[in-house]
Amino acid sequence: MLQLKRAKINPIMVPDPSNWWESKAVFNCSVLNDGKNIHMLYRAIGEYEDYVSRIGYASSNDGLSFIRRKEPSMCPEMEYESYGIEDPRLTIIDDDNYVTYVVLSNYVRNNPSVSTALARTNDFFSYEKLGIITVEGSQDKDVVLFPKSDGDGELGKYMILHRPSSWIGPEYNTDRPSIWIAEGNSVTNFVKHALLIKPEQSWEALKVGTGVPPIKTKKGWLVIYHGVSSEHVYSAGAFLLDIKEPNKILGRTKSPLLAPKEDYELKGDVNNVVFPSGACVLDNKLFVYYGAADKVCCLATIDLQEIIDYLLSDACAIGLGK
């Protein structure tokens, strides 16, 4: 059974008690490798009364040690962000850096209403906020954009994976929150929605959601996702999508590649959580960044070829009718 290998230095980032907005928890980190630096955005908590999240920035040149900026990189400013901005995911499209992030528009503890918004940045200091990109009332989070570059022969269109929690029932052909794929006529307007990945195994019995934005490989789009068991344990798995037709699944892990085991994954603000949210390839190794127990940022790696071969092997074959 293939497994991601935890970095020996885990956790790679912990709360900073001396900094008001990230003194309690730093987790769910996403990365973007621009060839010079590895940029990271992460979710940060500085108080438990309202539990409002902000987004911090850190950078690295080896993917292991990250230097953080003192000031938050993104703060709630818009009305739709009033109760916090969470779980940033980074993607490059046509030379611009895009961040999808979760926004909560009603008070979290009373009547949570969840959407995902988009921002564009070139320097990680200023962000152009482009508004909510998910369908109203769909309770949509875990939204990741496919990367796209000018002259991209394979996929010259805007695409997302997303997890609309309220799209369940016979009319949606799924009875639990699932991963959908959609195509957009712009980076903010996604229209053609299709069901892609439903919960199948016991470790993902309650729901599944995309973790990291798709990574382009020679054999397909590689995606790391999370599944939640009926005991509320968050684990990580992977699937591979066809490069030209990303709604075609080439392989999918049947058992988790990473499940909570270490203390920092078992105990935190929410216990038993590994939540992958960013990845990059360095020296043919896949670096997967994840939040552990909603408290700290962690890293696990795997040889890129090894995970692709595994996803294309019989162990990950997709059964008929799925």
By the criterion CB under 6 A, which residues form the site for ligand BMA?
28, 86-87, 234, 270, 273, 275, 291, 294
| Contact call for residues 130 and 116 (beta carbons, < 8 A) | no
Residue nearest to ligand BMA (CB): 270
Q: Smallest distance from the beta carbon of 291 to ligand BMA, in angstroms?
A: 5
- DSSP symbol at 318: P
| Contact call for residues 221 and 215 (beta carbons, < 8 A) | yes
Identify which of residues 204 and 294 has a Cβ nearer to ligand BMA in the complex: 294
DSSP assignment string, 289-313: EEEETTTEEEEEEEEHHHHHHHHTS
Secondary structure class of 52 (helix, strand, coil): coil
The residue with tokens 């040149």 is: 61
Q: Smallest distance from the beta carbon of 194 to ligand BMA, in angstroms?
A: 23
Q: Smallest distance from the beta carbon of 28 to ligand BMA, in angstroms?
A: 5
Identify which of residues 28 and 235 has a Cβ nearer to ligand BMA in the complex: 28
Secondary structure class of 285 (helix, strand, coil): strand
Q: Smallest distance from the beta carbon of 68 to ligand BMA, in angstroms?
A: 19
Identify which of residues 238 and 265 has a Cβ nearer to ligand BMA in the complex: 265
Residue type present at position 191: V
What does the alpha-carbon distance between residue 35 and residue 61 come to, in Å, rounded to a whole number? 9
Identify which of residues 114 and 118 has a Cβ nearer to ligand BMA in the complex: 114
Q: Is 243 left (phi over 0), alpha (psi -120 to 50) or beta?
A: alpha
What does the alpha-carbon distance between residue 153 and residue 283 come to, in Å, rounded to a whole number? 25
Identify which of residues 56 and 246 has a Cβ nearer to ligand BMA in the complex: 56
Identify which of residues 121 and 272 has a Cβ nearer to ligand BMA in the complex: 272
Q: Smallest distance from the beta carbon of 209 to ligand BMA, in angstroms?
A: 8
Secondary structure class of 263 (helix, strand, coil): helix
- By CB neighbour count within 10 A (0-12 exposed, 13-18 middle, 19+ buried), where does 230 fall? exposed
Identify which of residues 278 and 291 has a Cβ nearer to ligand BMA in the complex: 291
Residue type present at position 230: S
- DSSP symbol at 181: E
| Contact call for residues 119 and 142 (beta carbons, < 8 A) | no
Identify which of residues 158 and 275 has a Cβ nearer to ligand BMA in the complex: 275
Q: Smallest distance from the beta carbon of 37 to ligand BMA, in angstroms?
A: 25
Q: Smallest distance from the beta carbon of 266 to ligand BMA, in angstroms?
A: 13
Q: Smallest distance from the beta carbon of 193 to ligand BMA, in angstroms?
A: 21
Could you give the strand order of the β-sheet that contains 296-303, starting from the edge strand earlier in sequence? 5-6, 296-303, 285-292, 274-282
